[in-house]
Amino acid sequence: MANLSAENVNVWFGQRHVLKDVNLVFPKNEVTALIGPSGCGKSTFIRTLNRMHELIPGAGLAGKVVLDGRDIYDAGVDPVEVRLRVGMVFQKPNPFPTMSIKENVLSGLKLSNRKTSDADGLVETALRRASIWNEVKDRLGDPAISLSGGQQQRLCIARSLAMEPEILLMDEPCSALDPGSTRRIEETILELSEDMTIVIVTHNMQQAQRVSSRTAFFLAEDGNPGQVVEFGSTEQVFNQPIDLRTNDYVNGHFG
Amino acid sequence: MSQNETTAAPERRSLRAKPFAKADRIFYRVSTIAANSSIVLVSLILIFLGIRAWPAFESQGIGFVFGSTWNTSVEPIVMQIGPMLWGSILLSILGVMLAVPMAISIAYFIVFMAGKKLGSSVSVLVDLLAALPSIVLGLWGLLVFSPVAADWAKMLHDALGFIPIFANSGDNFLRSPFIASWVVAVMIVPIIASITREIFSQLDRELISASLALGAGRWSTFRRVILPTAAGGIVGGVLLGLGRALGETVAIYFVLNLIFDINIFNILEPKGGSVASMIMSKFGEASTAEVSGLMAAGVVLFLVTLFVNMLASYIVAKAQPWRK
Ligand SMILES: Nc1ncnc2c1ncn2[C@@H]1O[C@H](COP(=O)(O)OP(=O)(O)OP(=O)(O)O)[C@@H](O)[C@H]1O
Ligand SMILES: [Mg+2]
């Protein structure tokens, strides 16, 4: 049933090997959490899933990322098509500064030259799903950067949702949010997972347990490239980890 | 204390801090002096020019700016710079139109397409072009470029001559505004390109990532994200270029016929104008009265440049409401 998987993914930045032999399967309509200490390669990995390393000179990749049976790094695959199916929310909020709140929500359509018959409806739905509608409904024409950091992040989530991706990648989406917005985002994630596959990077162990059904633990041991130490159901990774290092990490003994 | 008494707002206090450390104080002093002296300098230049130019303004009246005749062999002498002034503006507009797409493409290539090595060598080349003395560019324009550009002009005329802009009454395609504006463009491309490059390289890469992640192609990312975000800075570069174009003297003098007969838009005719080049060409043999006229021409050019700058900063501010 899986429609997204990573097979032996390795990543280099220049000469530096930062990710080694990552094998992960992301089952359809499930939330998978990626956890691990800072610098172990979680962001690097999640960015391989929609070909975001294209922009980084010197970045290299080995292995495959398979989406519905097709390797997305195949020479014949248009990265734009991949990204339309695999949306992404970044670690730092990055709304388009030249656009208003509303334009930001619709920016994906504009940028990919698509049309919608009901722009206002789409804007409202997306903003509601990202639980920011009530805060901005009276100021949709304001510049997006007039929002607070946490609001900007939820706007970015709305912007991705407006494109209705099949898979959503979220790189620490809540790191800039207050507890209230974090909880609302978590509720959103659970709702979305009814018809969307979600991969989320988080440093918050409780969050991983609240939202995900599966968890992968990444670790880069002194100077070695990052690897997946443990991958399984969230329940098992947190409560009966097989690897000692996982046990130490989820219980806050290192990292 | 009763509640009523507290309703008056407390006195506002200044939030400005004065510099305490010695280094800070010196730094403040120097900055203030530098800023003020630039204002003083500009005013002094204007006053000096104004005094010398006044007799010409007085004798010629408004016709000085809008008339088309320059005749110093009649009495009283007639000095009118209309065609030169319009020529300067026309060359600048055409030059900017040619230069901006070139400059932006170069900057885009350097920042987003070329690798480190290729990018920095192209940058060095472009900056070298900026350092080219305009006399050298003028000679190149006259000896190398003009014959080539005259062929282009002829082809343009043959293909599109029915459009008035590309009309040509004789068979002379040399020394036209068309050619001079290419020379101007070559001169201002490096200025605009290096500023645009700087702006592009300071652009938040996360915005580009965001755009690509939403399914944008390279072109729509450029058009809808990079360009709007960088627009203010690019306009700044264009302004610098425009300033150089309006004031350019020698290079234009080498490749353009300065004719006191207004040529609004027939850019392929060997007939154009440039205030700065005109001043240079006449200064050597000018009588006292004529020198006053040339000074007056300088004042007008200065005011036009000032106006263009103010207009542009107004446009930038209007076009970017998010940048307060
Ligand atoms: N563009 C890049 N160029 C060179 N090295 C990079 C680049 N991006 C990341 N790295 C390196 O790759 C390693 C993994 O980084 P990554 O950002 O994936 O870590 P992370 O697990 O997301 O950490 P965090 O939890 O702090 O976000 C780090 O050692 C980092 O220095
Ligand atoms: Mg990260």
Q: How many CB pairs under 8 A join A and B?
A: 79
Q: What contacts B59, CB < 8 A, 6 or more positions away?
A: B76, B289
CA distance B240 to chain A (A): 24
pTM: 0.86
The closest residue, in CA terms, to atom 25 on ligand 1 is: A38
Which of A80, A97, A108 lies nearest to residue B229, judging by beta carbons?
A97
Q: Which residues of A touch B208 (CB under 8 A)?
A: 55
* Residue with more model confidence, B257 or A176: B257
Write out chain B residues lying below 8 Å of A55, CB-based.
Answer: 205, 208-209, 212
Unique residue bearing structure tokens 């009265």: B289
B60 shares a domain with B102: no
Residue B295 resides in a domain: yes
Same domain, B187 and B55: no
Which chain A residues are within 8 Å of B211, Cβ to Cβ?
96, 107, 111
| Contact indicator for B100, B237 with CB cutoff of 8 Å | no
The Cα–Cα gap between A20 and A14 comes to 15
Q: Do B96 and B228 belong together in one domain?
A: yes
Q: Which domain holds residue B208?
A: 84-323
For position B324, what pLDDT does the model report? 46
| Residue nearest (by alpha carbon) to ligand 1 atom 22 | A43
Mean pLDDT, residues A98-123 taken together? 93
pLDDT over threshold 80, residue B318:
no
Rounded alpha-carbon distances, angstroms, from residue B317 to A97, A247, B62, B181, B321: 15, 57, 32, 28, 7
Cα–Cα distance for residue pair A176/A157, rounded to 1 Å: 13
In a shared domain, residues B278 and B132: yes
pLDDT of B263 > 80? The answer is: yes
Ligand 1 atom 24, closest CA? A38
Top mutation candidate among A9, A15, A18, A88 for ligand 1, by most atoms within 8 Å of CB: A18
Length of chain B: 324
Q: What is the pLDDT of residues B64-104, one digit of tens each?
A: 999 999 998 888 899 999 999 999 999 999 999 999 999 99
Torsion angle, alpha carbons of B145, B150, B152, B157, to 10: 160
Q: What is residue A242's predicted lDDT score, i.e. its pLDDT?
A: 93
Taking the C-alpha atoms of residue A129 and residue A95, their distance in angstroms, rounded to an integer, is 17
Residues in a beta bridge with A33: A200, A215
B58 and B172 both lie in a single domain = no
Q: CA nearest A90 in B: which residue?
A: B210
Q: Are residues B111 and B48 in the same domain?
A: no
Task: Tell me which residue has its CA closest to atom 18 in ligand 1.
Answer: A41
What local confidence, expressed as pLDDT, does residue A1 receive?
42
- Residue A55's pLDDT is 81
Is any ligand 1 atom within 6 A of the Cβ of residue A32?
Answer: no
Residue B1 has pLDDT above 60, yes or no: no
Mean pLDDT of all residues in B253-272: 90
Query: Does the structure show a pLDDT above 90 at B315?
Result: no
User: Same structural domain for residues B129 and B270?
Assistant: yes
Residue B298 placed within a domain = yes
Number of domains in chain B: 2
Task: Give yes or no: residues B151 and B274 share one domain.
Answer: yes
**For residue B11, is it within any domain?**
no
Residue A20, both tokens: 């080694």
User: Do B139 and B49 share a structural domain?
Assistant: no
Say which residues have a Cβ less than 8 Å from residue A196's Cβ, sequence separation at least 6.
A29, A165, A166, A167, A168
The answer to whether position B2 is within a domain reads no
Whether B195 is covered by a domain: the verdict is: yes
pLDDT of residue B18: 82
Is ligand 1 within 6 A of the CB of residue A38? yes
B119 lies in a domain?
yes
**Chain B nearest C-alpha distance from A222 (Å):** 29
B100-104, Cβ contacts within 8 angstroms, sequence gap of 24 or more? B100/B192, B100/B234, B100/B238, B102/B185, B102/B189, B102/B193, B103/B188, B103/B189, B103/B190, B103/B191, B103/B192, B103/B193, B103/B196, B103/B237, B103/B241, B104/B192, B104/B193, B104/B196, B104/B227, B104/B234
| pLDDT, position A84 | 94
What is the ipTM for the molecules in this complex?
0.91
User: Which among A9, A43, A53, A202 is the best mutation to test ligand 1's pocket, defined by most ligand atoms within 8 Å of the CB?
Assistant: A43
What's the rounded mean pLDDT across residues A34-47?
Answer: 95
- Least confident range of A100-109, A175-184, A230-239: A175-184
For the record, the structure tokens of B134 come out as 């305009």
Q: What is the signed CA dihedral for A135, A137, A139, A140, rounded to 10 degrees?
A: 120
| A44 Cβ closer than 6 Å to some ligand 1 atom | yes
* CATH code where residue B278 lies: 1.10.3720.10
Q: Are residues B106 and B135 in the same domain?
A: yes
Q: Which long-range contacts (CB under 8 A, 24 or more apart) does B198-204 make?
A: B198/B233, B199/B107, B199/B230, B199/B233, B199/B234, B199/B237, B200/B107, B200/B108, B200/B110, B200/B111, B200/B112, B200/B226, B200/B230, B201/B111, B203/B229, B203/B230, B204/A94
> Could you tell me the sign of the dihedral formed by the alpha carbons of A157, A160, A161, A166, in that order?
negative
B74 within domain boundaries: no
| Ligand 1 pocket, residue A47 CB under 6 Å | no
Pick the closest to residue B89 from B65, B108, B72 (CA basis): B65
Measured in angstroms, how far is the CA atom of residue A64 from the centroid of ligand 1?
Answer: 20
pLDDT greater than 50 at residue B270: yes
* pLDDT for res A223: 84
**Closest-CA residue in chain B for A160?**
B214
- Is the CB–ligand 1 distance for residue A176 below 6 Å? no
Interface test with B, best of A48, A77, A96, A157 (most B CBs within 10 A): A96
Positive or negative, the CA dihedral B259, B260, B265, B266 is negative
Say whether A94 and B116 touch across the interface (CB within 8 A).
Answer: no
Mutate to test the pocket of ligand 1, among A10, A40, A224 (most ligand atoms within 8 A of CB): A40
Position B320 confidence tier, pLDDT thresholds 50, 70, 90: low
Q: Are residues B49 and B180 in the same domain?
A: no
pLDDT higher than 90, residue B322: no
Express each pLDDT in B171-230 by its tens digit.
888 999 999 999 999 999 999 999 999 999 999 999 999 999 999 999 999 999 999 999
Confidence of residue A54 (pLDDT cuts 50, 70, 90): confident
Give the mean model confidence (pLDDT) for residues A163-189. Answer: 90
Is any atom of ligand 1 closer than 6 Å to the C-beta of A56?
yes
Q: Which residues, at least 6 apart from B258, have a Cβ–Cβ distance to it below 8 Å?
A: B84, B87, B272, B273, B274, B277, B278, B281
B44/B107 same-domain check? no
Q: Residues B298-302: what's their mean pLDDT?
A: 94
Residue B17 lies in a domain: no
Does ligand 1 have an atom closer than 6 angstroms to the CB of A20?
A: no
At residue B133, the 3 state secondary structure works out as: coil
